[in-house]
Amino acid sequence: MSEPWRAGIDADRRKRRRRITNQREALRQLTVGAAVAAAGLNAVLFVQTGVDQSGAAAVQDAIVSVVNGLFPGAGLKPPANQPTPSPNARPIATTGGS
Amino acid sequence: MTSAPSPLWFIDRSSGEVTLLLMSAVVILGILRAALPTASPFLVEGMHINAALLAIAFGGLHILAAILDPFAQLGPVDALVPFVSPYRGTWLGLGVVSGYLYGVAVLTSWPARRLPRPAWLWLHRTMYAAWALALMHSLATGSDARNEVFLFLNVVAVAGVLVAFLGYRVAEGWSRLPVLWAALAVVAVMTALGIGIWAADGPLQTGWARSSGTPPDLLHSP
């Protein structure tokens, strides 16, 4: 037969343990969120720096180079030339008019 | 010598900026932990520690990319010994000193505080200097200091640290030692203003690449 005061203490302990577990989980989620945000920002700034300094083509080459460095078997290649127009495309006037 | 930046140069720049932002978060969380000791201490201190570890990871990436990148031809000596690098030596040196001060703040807190609290507290305050030097290093060494995105992030970092310091740390200490905290508030504002004026007159001006000590063969334009 448990004493009423003991039941109160046990309830307090359970509540404290639950609070600690909840805070640990919140800390874990916040840390993962911060790490993902930092990695994402790093990627955005990587592209931003590259475009600003060397243009979009250089960034494309840089990304391909990084992917190939990380995954040598990927065989990723930057496009050799500009995409060709569709054979049945109708010309559209982009100048003229009044 | 390589004449065009490589992907490693871009990684160096981006990870450097992320490290500065993480250091700013570490400073802000440290200020909140000190000024509001009863406000979710487990979460605030936990995030303060975890953000500090994340900053070490991104700082490590920043240094590694700088050493491996062939563009500026930096070596391990440039990363370890301040003010000897041929590439913007003074400003790169500030980053090295910042790294050492950051190391002091982290290593004296880990794995457990073995130092007497007053000694630990003074050593931990080196973080403020580490952060300010990292900011100056970012503005002066980075080849994209005038890039709007980088500039915006730097302004956000400074504003965040200044607001946390003035709004929480100074406000909390004011009731006990008003003269000391008023003086510290003035020092903080003057430091921020000083860095702002220096940046406007130096790194944000055209021709900074040349005057900051970039080797002539790496300069794209006069």
Q: Can you read off the two tokens belonging to residue B44?
A: 């605030």
Bond from prior residue into A72 cis (ω within 30 degrees of 0) = no
Residue-by-residue DSSP string for B26-44: HHHHHHHHHH-TTSSHHHH
Across the interface, of B10, B50, B58, the residue whose CB is closest to A49 is: B10
How far from the centroid of its chain's Cα atoms is residue A41's Cα?
8
* From A42, A59, A63, residue closest to B18, measured CB to CB: A42
Mutate to test the interface with B, among A24, A52, A65 (most CBs of B within 10 A): A52
The answer to whether B47 faces chain A, any CB pair under 8 Å, is yes
Shortest CA gap B147–chain A (Å) = 8
Please state the φ and ψ torsions of residue B209, each to the nearest 5 degrees.
Answer: -55, -40
Lowest pLDDT segment from A21-30, A58-67, B107-116, B146-155: A58-67
Tokens 């569709």 sit on residue:
A86
Yes or no, beta carbons of A30 and B54 under 8 Å apart:
no
The fraction of chain A above a pLDDT of 70, given in percent, is 73
* 222 residues of chain B, pLDDT tens digit each: 445 667 898 899 999 999 999 999 999 999 999 999 888 889 999 999 999 999 999 999 999 999 998 888 899 999 999 999 888 889 999 999 999 999 999 999 976 667 888 899 999 999 999 999 999 999 998 766 788 899 999 999 999 999 999 999 999 999 899 999 999 999 999 999 999 999 999 999 888 888 877 887 777 543
Which residue on chain A is closest to B25 by alpha carbon?
A34
Report CA B94 to chain centroid distance, whole Å: 9
The 3-state DSSP class for residue A89 equals coil
Q: Estimate the crossing angle of helix B41-68 against helix B7-35, to 10 degrees.
A: 160
At residue A83, the pLDDT reads 53
CA distance A59 to chain B (A): 8
Q: What is the nearest CA distance from A79 to chain B, expressed in angstroms?
A: 18
Give the separation between CA B38 and CA B92, rounded to whole angstroms: 40
When mean pLDDT is compared across A27-31, A63-67, B116-120, B175-179, the lowest value belongs to A63-67
Q: What is the pLDDT of residues B72-94, one digit of tens each?
A: 889 999 999 999 988 888 999 99
- Could you give the CA distance from residue B139 to residue B168 in angstroms, rounded to a whole number? 27
Q: Using CA atoms, how far apart are residues B199 and B205, in angstroms rounded to an integer?
A: 8
